[in-house]
A and B are shown apart, each in its own frame.
Chain A
Amino acid sequence: MNEILKTEGLRKSYKKLNALKGLNITVQQGQIYGLLGPNGSGKTTTLGILLGVIKADSGSYNWFGKGQLDSNRRNIGALLETPNFYPYLNAIDNLKIVAAIKSLENVSERIEKVLKRVDLWKRKTAKFRTYSLGMKQRLAIASAILADPDVLVLDEPTNGLDPQGIAEIRTLILDIAREGKTIIIASHILDEIEKTCTHVGILKDGELIKEGTLDEIMLQEKIMKINADDLLALKDAVDRIPSLTFKQSVVDGMLISTDEHISLAKVNQMIAEEGVYLSELAIYKKNLESTFLEIINK
């Protein structure tokens, strides 16, 4: 798999605030990489540096193995924070400017294709200032895919959208991902990341504190949900088994954690040997939100 992006020791400070403290991330071709973190964790600063509009104090980044060339960005479609277009121009005129910057050919065909794809073709001659927030976001995505780039970088792509708008953008992103594009999404909306990303990097106070596939991030320890007729007896049994740890009581049972190599069958056997018979035993998959909060609050 080709390495699309690699950063090494990126640092950035604003006066006394250390926004980035030596960031190292790697994104491989075809990944949908979610850069996750609370507000102020350094997500936008990271993307700003990678897109050439913020200067890093130190460290480096490398796109496509070609370093930090301005021309690299012509093969990257990006939406950073807000959609930025000329309000007095319509969608077509705004996209013509993008096409000129990226030195594209067959401009009219490309514009028609992307505007149809984001469902803005009917509003192609309306001025940008008349668009709703959702339409502005969709035009930004149309602009990002105009050059059919290998990489999309989207910063908070569903910011301020209503549920329908969020669903539309998410569908669009997944459609684009199916074409084999590499997508980097920064967001603090965990549901959005969980539903779209294959890989996640979690930022906190300018540092990458976790990185991996979505499953790796969410299943760092094996958590099981168990239940029995006598919950007190079950709790005692769990406490007597050294390789099991009681986590918390939940509706209809309790959560326990085990070592990664212990199977469900083994857990069932160990508890049965303590004289308690399970009525329920299942791997408990946490959602990204609970995992994220655990990691961030550590």
Chain B
Amino acid sequence: MKQLITIEYLKLRKLKSLQIIFLIYAFISPVAIYAISSFITNFMGPFLPKDWSALQFPDVWPITVYASSYFNVMMGVLAVIIISNEYEFKTFRQHVIDGLSIKKAILGKFLVLISFSLIITLYSFLTGLLFGLFYTTTDVSAFEGIESVGLYFIQTLCYFSFAFFIAVLVKKTAVSITLFLLSFITETIIGISISIGGFQTVYAYMPLNAFSKLTPFPILKEMIAAGNERSGNVPVILDTPINIAVCLGYMVLFFFIAFVTLKRRDL
């Protein structure tokens, strides 16, 4: 384990795209949290619950993870770059030649992705905590609603599993990134199309939609309830435990397919 962490650290510590994406994440995600909370407070008045207090505990947690989740796509792109780079530079192959087993080489990548998830989750947690401590005026516990952060951690892993899956299948960095980003657009178009046809439930089970609903728009349930009263044609949101199970299922599936592909394929 220590050997794999050392190897991955040596590879990544001077990777410019990693430094840039992490810096963008670090600077922009707090701004996004503040901007989204202001937007909700100022423009979504009719839907807001009575006790809503955007940047105070516990409402700061769903806003924090919702705003941060936008950057998961960016982090997914980073994951694609890191994995497909190994193919483009043929270093994955060279590591095996140098004596690393294929299993260990794959495990190294899992460790990187889990580390990234932990780092950005921890960063989001600290950002939310600081906002909460700064704005909260009541004596509500800082850890009320903290489960949102746990869901955010699962979500990052899910996106990474999808990025890993795409990068392993495609191997070329530019094509992988394009395909990764196109997947979001494609699934949204398909999802909206089938939802119009009355298959909202199917859309709810589609992978990227299910991932995104782990950290939903903070007042989504209130908006759906209002929409239901007006037209009845609203998106289906799975219950959280079911959605977690669906997302974990996809995550395992994506990692498994990538793992089997790597094990079987000539390098």
Residues of A within 8 A of B (CB): 48, 51-55, 70-74, 76, 78, 80, 82, 84-89, 93, 96-98, 100-103, 143
Contacts and interface: CB of A to CB of B under 8 A. Distances in A.
Nearest to A143: B98
B99 A102 contact: yes
Nearest to B267: A53
A101 B93 CA distance: 13
B14 interface: yes
B1 interface: no
Contact of B7 (A54, A70, A82, A101): A101
A55 B14 CA distance: 33
Interface string B81-116: 000010001110111111111100000000000000
B96 A53 contact: yes
B100 to A, nearest CB: 5
B100 A101 contact: yes
B230 interface: no
B interface bracket (residues with beta carbon within 8 Å of A): 20 to 34
B11 A86 contact: yes
Given A96-B10, A100-B7, A85 B98 contact: no
B165 to A, nearest CB: 22
A53 B262 CA distance: 11
B99 A86 contact: no
A258 B97 CA distance: 47
B6 A100 contact: yes
Contacts of A84: 89-91, 93-94
Contacts of B89: 84-87
Given A53-B93, A82-B90, A100-B7, A70 B101 contact: yes
A86 B98 contact: no
Contact of A103 (B3, B95, B102): B3
Q: Which of B16, B93, B101 has the most CB of A within 10 A?
A: B93
B90 A97 contact: no
A3 B101 CA distance: 24
Nearest to A78: B97
B135 to A, nearest CB: 41
Interface of B: 3, 6-7, 10-11, 14-16, 85, 89-91, 93-102, 264, 266-267
Given A53-B93, A70-B99, A102-B98, A48 B10 contact: no
Contacts of A52: 96-97, 102
B11 A97 contact: yes
A48 to B, nearest CB: 7
Q: Which of A78, A80, A101 has the most CB of B within 10 A?
A: A101
B185 to A, nearest CB: 30
B213 to A, nearest CB: 37
Given A53-B267, A88-B15, 16 more contacts: A52-B102, A53-B96, A70-B99, A71-B99, A73-B98, A74-B99, A80-B94, A82-B90, A86-B85, A87-B89, A93-B10, A97-B11, A97-B95, A101-B3, A101-B100, A103-B3
Contacts of B90: 82, 84
Nearest to B101: A70
Contacts of B7: 97, 100-101
Q: Which of B6, B85, B264 has the most CB of A within 10 A?
A: B6
Q: Which of A76, A78, A82, A100 has the most CB of B within 10 A?
A: A100
7 contacts: A53-B93, A53-B267, A73-B96, A73-B99, A88-B16, A101-B98, A143-B98
A85 B91 contact: yes
Contacts of B97: 51-53, 73, 78, 80
Nearest to B102: A52
B237 to A, nearest CB: 43
A72 B102 CA distance: 14
B202 to A, nearest CB: 38
A89 B14 contact: yes
Contacts of B267: 53-54
Given A84-B89, A85-B89, A86-B11, A101 B266 contact: no
Contacts of B96: 51-53, 70, 73
A53 B11 CA distance: 21
Contacts of A70: 96, 99-101
Contacts of B3: 100-101, 103
